[in-house]
Amino acid sequence: MGELTDRAKGLANEAIGNTKQAAGKATDNASLHGEGVAQERKGEAQQAAGKVKGALGDDV
């Protein structure tokens, strides 16, 4: 995957994760909230990978 793909997927995962966290809090669903936290972290990692690829090139 390229830099932009990683960063776009990362943003999407962060947004979905934040939504799941909010829904989990609103419905008092700890499982959904935890799922949201995990997905947000995944998105952050994808964005970081995209930034590294941008700095070093897509061949990383």
**Residues 5-59: tens digit of each pLDDT:** 999 999 999 999 999 999 999 999 999 999 999 999 999 999 999 999 888 875 5
- pLDDT level of residue 3 (50, 70, 90 thresholds): confident
Q: In this structure, what DSSP letter does residue 57 have? A: -
The mean predicted confidence, pLDDT, of the chain is: 92
> Are 13 and 39 a contacting pair, CB within 8 Å?
yes
Q: Which pLDDT score is estimated for 1? A: 61
Dmax over CA atoms of the chain, in Å, equals: 44
